[in-house]
Amino acid sequence: MVFDFDEVLDRRGTDSVKWDGLKEFFGREDLLSMWVADMDFRTPPCVIKAIQERLDRGVLGYTIPNDKWYYAFICWQQKHHDWEVNAWEMMHMPGIVRGLAFALQCFTEVGDRVLVIPPVYHPFFLVPEKNHRKVVYSSLIIDEQDEIQLDFEQLERDMQDCKVFILCNPHNPGGRVWTREELLRIAEICERNNVLVLSDEIHCDLTLPPYKHIPFASVNQWTREHTITFMAPSKTFNMPGISTSICVIQNPTLWEQFHTYMEASELEMGNVFSYTSAAAAYSEGEEWLLQLKAYLLENIDFTQAFLKEHLPMVSMVRPQASYLIFLDFQKLGWSQEMLTRVVLEDAHLALNDGTMFGQRGEGFLRLNVGCPKSVLNKALHQLADAIYKKLNI
């Protein structure tokens, strides 16, 4: 089957955060929405079919995990990431950010130090802060070639006395896929400091060729015993509204401790569509995903070529995974306030402000290219027109 990613869908009026939330988040509705991380493509037919078949049974009762859910995820990890996972190491999560919050509540105390490396997905520091943990900000390097690098010396210094490190693998924003060598160095630093690693790997299955995702827990025996991995079909198969994710813990003691916490809070069960939809995605969605990634690569290439030809003063961090592009406007010399105002009021675009990912995001905006090419083309032209108008060119 050939899937149509060129189809332009009208998502307004569906209570969509991305479209119906524009007024709440940006103060106006006359915007082309290129921000929050879901895609403007139809969810794979196999997922829709599985949900419809479940609906046709006529009763939406309490639901337990089934063998197909376990088997589909285990086979997917083995095939795509060379990672051996067992059913008794899995646990359902009602979303990855919620899972991170639960893990922090379970494994840390008020005042414990939690390390993050900005610019990074903002809940990584907002969730610990709101739970009264002390956030330690290490930082990434975005070099002159707009490539993201780890500062291992600073990471070593900042890791001291931390209880937990929240790793984004692949990284968001920027879409950086960490190499095995980089993950090994991270592991060595964490081991020296006896730090528990919470690894958010939600974008792993959107890793683009020729890059390969490596689960942090698979790096060596220490990472296997000291990592809590969070994965989900939500970004990959465009189904975040289902709120279904998977936590993998390969240390039996940690698994039992976390499961006890989840069970005590009545949080361990998924909703009626959780297991069915995830199983369908992992067992039947591979061809859809292959075509999606080819389309996303074309959109990334188009964006890069457009900037080079029409907006040479704007560059981009080329993502190695996902459909999110970190745009670099620093050459314009504008303040962040001016940059965001021009993009909002003149370009009529809704993009993510780079500073929401931390101070190192100043001068950047995040663009979502998980949309039809016609929409992306329109957005980039609106951006170029607004910038040149402001520059009086």
What is the three-state SS of 52-97? HHHHHCCCCCCCCCCHHHHHHHHHHHHHHHCCCCCHHHEEEECCHH
Mean pLDDT, each 10-residue run in order, the chain (393 residues): 97 97 97 97 98 97 95 98 98 96 98 97 97 96 92 96 98 97 98 98 98 98 98 98 97 98 91 97 98 98 98 97 98 97 98 95 97 98 97 86
Give me the residue spans of the domains in the chain.
17-43+286-391, 47-284
Using one digit for the tens of pLDDT, what is the confidence trace for 170-221?
A: 999 999 999 999 999 999 999 999 999 999 999 999 999 999 999 999 999 9
Q: Is the peptide bond before 233 cis (omega within 30 degrees of 0)?
A: no
CATH of 47-284, one of 3.20.20.70, 3.40.640.10, 2.30.30.280, 1.10.10.10: 3.40.640.10
Q: What is the pLDDT of residue 359?
A: 85
Fold match between 17-43+286-391 and 47-284? no
What number of other Cβ atoms are within 10 A of residue 192's Cβ?
A: 11
How many Å apart are CA 50 and CA 244, to the nearest integer?
A: 15
| Architecture of domain 17-43+286-391 in this structure | Alpha-Beta Complex (3.90)
Using one digit for the tens of pLDDT, what is the confidence trace for 290-299?
A: 999 999 999 9
Q: What is the pLDDT of residue 392?
A: 87
pTM of the predicted structure, to 2 decimals: 0.97
What percentage of residues in the chain have a pLDDT greater than 70? 100
Q: What is the pLDDT of residue 101?
A: 97
Q: For residues 362-371, b (16+ Cβ closer than 10 Å) or e, as one string?
A: bbbbbbbbbb
Classify burial at 10, counting beta carbons within 10 Å of its beta carbon; exposed 0-12, middle 13-18, buried 19 or more: exposed
Q: Find out whether 114 and 135 touch, Cβ atoms under 8 Å.
A: yes
Q: What is the pLDDT of residue 116?
A: 98
Q: What is the pLDDT of residue 334?
A: 97
Task: Report DSSP state, residue 233.
Answer: S
Pairing of strands 113-116, 134-137: parallel
Concatenated DSSP letters of 279-332 = HHHHHH-HHHHHHHHHHHHHHHHHHHHHHHHH-TT-EEE--SBSSEEEEE-GGG
Q: What is the pLDDT of residue 75?
A: 98
Record the tokens describing residue 111, joined without a space: 């005042």
Pairing of strands 32-33, 349-350: parallel
Using one digit for the tens of pLDDT, what is the confidence trace for 343-374?
A: 999 999 999 999 999 988 999 999 999 999 99
